[in-house]
Amino acid sequence: MTPHDIRASFLKYFADQDHKVLPSAPVVPEGDPTLLFTNAGMNQFKDMLLGNETRDYKRATTVQKCVRAGGKHNDLDEVGKDGRHLTFFEMLGNWSFGDYYKRKSIEWAWDYLLNVLKLDPERLYITNYKDDDEAAAIWRDEIGIAPEHMLRLGDIEKGDEENFWSMGPTGPCGPCTEIHYDSHPEYGPFEFVEGYDDERVVEIWNLVFMEYNRDEDGELHPLPMKSVDTGLGLDRVAMIKAGRDSVFQTELFTPIIETTLGLLKASNSELFANVKTDENGHLEDREAFYALEDFTGFSVIADHVRTVTFALCDGAKFSNEGRGYVLRRILRRAVRFGRNLGFEGPFLHKVSAVVVSEYSDIYPELAAVGKEAAELIRLEEERFFRNIDRGIELFETAANAAIAEKRSELGGEEVFQLHATFGFPPDLTELMAEEKGLSIDWKAYEQLWQTHQETSRGKDVYADTAGVGDWVTILDEDDSVFVGYETLSATASITRYRALGDGRYQVLLTQTPFYAESGGQVGDQGVLRGEDGAVLLKVLDAQKAPIGIIHLVEAAAKDVDEDALKATFTAEVDAERRRLTIANHTATHLLHAALRDIVSDSIFQSGSLVSPERLRFDFSHGEAVSPEQLRAIEERVNRQIRDAHPVTIHAEVTRERAVDEMGAMAIFGEKYGNTVRVVEIPGESVELCGGTHVANTSDINLFRIVSESGVAAGIRRIEALSADGALASYRAEADQLREVARILKTDTHHLLSRAESLMAEKSDLQRQVDQLGQKLANSASGDLVSDAADIDGVQVIAAKISVEKRDQMLAYADKLREKIKGEGAVLLAGELDGKATLVCVVTQEAFKGRGLKAGDLVNAAAKYIDGRGGGRPTLAQAGGTKVKGLQPAIDNFEAIVKEALAK
């Protein structure tokens, strides 16, 4: 059976058992900040398992995309060390939500393994949680598993969570029964006891019996209903059906690995020249290739490029924290292995293309944004390759020094510098250190990294939306039907609420006109009015969560009690705020189209913010957009506004029709279902978008670009205004110009010529001031030289001077050096822009004859101003925050010189 056959057979089997077949959730969790990535099939059903949500089915089955890198389930460091661990994999799963329980799930699992996959029952072994007598009895008495094929494991009271599964530190959890497969019965008898050989006997299926919810204190609370969550690893099943010992030797990975090999052979014909491939790039002798020591590198690259590609296509981004940092680590680890194989430049983005082509039939979102994901990978690779040579050089220097000094570990400072300066994730440094027999001083590294990172963040009121007992149910009805496309007002009742304190609540409504933040557009605000028309609750925000649209509300009066939440409300969106927001949103679509037409059609959106006040648009581009291009873009958008194009909304369009027939652009990082909403501005823009928009481009009124800047490697940002905001900015600028004209005693028509005249006058005055300063410096320097102290034949001058610019201080120091005959050292001190500044000069004679260095002297003086500095042996500067320390630095300079001469 091929991997495709296994996927199809699994879904069909459970569909035949009345399970609803559902699509995979994105690997970037939606509305669950407790997870870095979707790490199990049950993530999308978390609220159903908790009893916070009901749907029109009690049985479901999926093939779920999973990433286990970071967090509780982290296999990143294990990839490449064996043939089973992955950071990305596909989990085949079936669920029961208060329906069947242990008996049915065990019976069906056994039936599927034996009668569909045709596995030998003699090669299957079972583990159960130590206290789960029920599951053990079903396996033993009803399925007929021999005692020697069964084992009890785990004890959560002692911290041993074997056969007790949870998706993270909090949330649904429970005992599980695991099914294992003996890959090599030909090795002889196998004793299934604790500590068994898990290289030979591989876990393939986990049946989790969800009974508890674990809170933040680690306490277990019974769930409202008992459920089943199972996970059968596709990669491992494919390995078994292919008769392999490694998942990387299956058809899931062969196309990726062959592509990587082909790129290597194309870039350097001498590398792997003895590995034969046919005219299509397929391996002629797979067994010989698998036996290569370098096959590990190909395996790591294949796994990591799948992870990065899927994560980017589901909305993740590279960054220096959280999910984005983990993604960056994965990419750089792949690059490091690629570098060892022989790649000298970016290559992963090309391998990413085969991931997209291989998986697009199963996961259409890859086809929609795969090119954009590859472009982000290329930009990230280029950034790392620019630093990798220097980083490796510094690592080799540090490692060789440690070995020469007979140290067994690298210092934390060395690892931190590689990380912070050259982007080397610590696990890469650790891998390189292991190759040289060195460990890492992790304690010192962690201390340095902790001070380097941001340590405080505001609390997200939406962060915990799934705790059992938090939500109070008022009405047992469907939640959050969104009607805000058609109306800004609707009659609604609160179905559930949660008190946050200080008169604030989170509430879910039977229906809502409030747009929940999505696709860059901020959530609506407004009010909930009682039956008498009085405002009872102010709606501050609306956010999407797995349990529905959550409204953050605040009581309008102090005396509103929780009984008032049971009323029937009129939900009203702030119409003016919505009007300004939709103007900015439609303007964003026009901006996107203009950018692609005027700057480059390879540009794609990589982030946005649409609020009532402004719009922000992030896009892929390697260089700044020129002022001429920005003007052309602005003029084009305003022309589209003046031309008054109707904005057409196509609702409930199949994704294939939207993209293939209508030419709609999928916005990178957004998640789409099988049916989509298309926003069309005829002749200008067609995009998949769930946001709210104006009916006609003329409703935008006016568009103005405020700024263009770089925000990350290969990512630019345009900030702009539309409608009232754009007009207000023009008026504010005009008012400023009129005020400047008044101050300069002219009018706005002659303001430019008046400014040019004043600049010329300023330049002339500055020249005169500089000349006067030179004369004063020349005169004063003569006095200082005549009063110089003699320290063992070296003329020493230390003085505090008053200047406005650093250049003046440097000129002063040069004058003193010119007038000193022979060996001399000078320290000048002054306050510039509120900071303490020191300049030190040493004559050539003092440097060559006495070994005095300006850098050493200025650093010794800088301790008095809480600073430090550096420079050349004959000229150095220092800055500090302690202005009061300038005089002590001057007073102690002679002693500093004397101490330096004595060394």
Binding residue ranges for Zn(2+)? 585, 589, 689, 693
In 3D space, the residue among 682, 686, 690, 628 whose CA is nearest the CA of residue 659 turns out to be: 686
Distance CA 688, CA 667 (A): 7
In our burial notation (b when 16+ CB lie closer than 10 A, e otherwise), range 585-605 reads bbbbbbbbbbbbebbbeebbb
Q: Is 568 exposed, middle or buried (0-12, 13-18, 19+ CB in 10 A)?
A: exposed
| 169, two tokens | 């530190």
Query: Could you tell me whether strands 409-410 and 220-233 are parallel, antiparallel, or unpaired per DSSP bridges?
Result: unpaired
| 100, two tokens | 């069947």
- Intra-chain end-to-end CA distance of the chain, in Å: 80
Consecutive H or E run containing 202: strand 201-214
Query: Could you tell me whether strands 409-410 and 439-440 are parallel, antiparallel, or unpaired per DSSP bridges?
Result: parallel
Residue 43 near residue 31 (C-beta atoms within 8 A): no
| 82, two tokens | 């064996």
**Binding residue ranges:** 585, 589, 689, 693
In 3D space, the residue among 508, 460, 505, 464 whose CA is nearest the CA of residue 482 turns out to be: 508
> Can you tell me whether residue 65 is helix, strand or coil?
strand
In 3D space, the residue among 802, 812, 818, 867 whose CA is nearest the CA of residue 839 turns out to be: 812
Distance CA 83, CA 652 (A): 44
Distance CA 868, CA 865 (A): 8
| Percent helix / strand / coil, the chain, rounded to 5 | 45, 25, 30
Distance CA 184, CA 180 (A): 12
Q: Find the largest Cα–Cα distance for the chain.
A: 107
Distance CA 178, CA 155 (A): 15
Q: Which residues pair with 130 in a beta bridge?
A: none
In 3D space, the residue among 203, 207, 194, 221 whose CA is nearest the CA of residue 135 turns out to be: 207
Residue 584 near residue 723 (C-beta atoms within 8 A): yes
| 722, two tokens | 């539309």
What is the 8-class DSSP label of residue 474? S
Residues 42, 46, 49, CA angle at the centre, nearest 5°? 95
| 723, two tokens | 């409608």
Distance CA 673, CA 365 (A): 9
Residue 503 near residue 549 (C-beta atoms within 8 A): no
Q: 883: which residues sit within 8 A by CB, 6+ positions away?
A: 831, 834, 835, 836, 865
What is the 8-class DSSP label of residue 483? -
In 3D space, the residue among 820, 826, 822 whose CA is nearest the CA of residue 841 turns out to be: 826
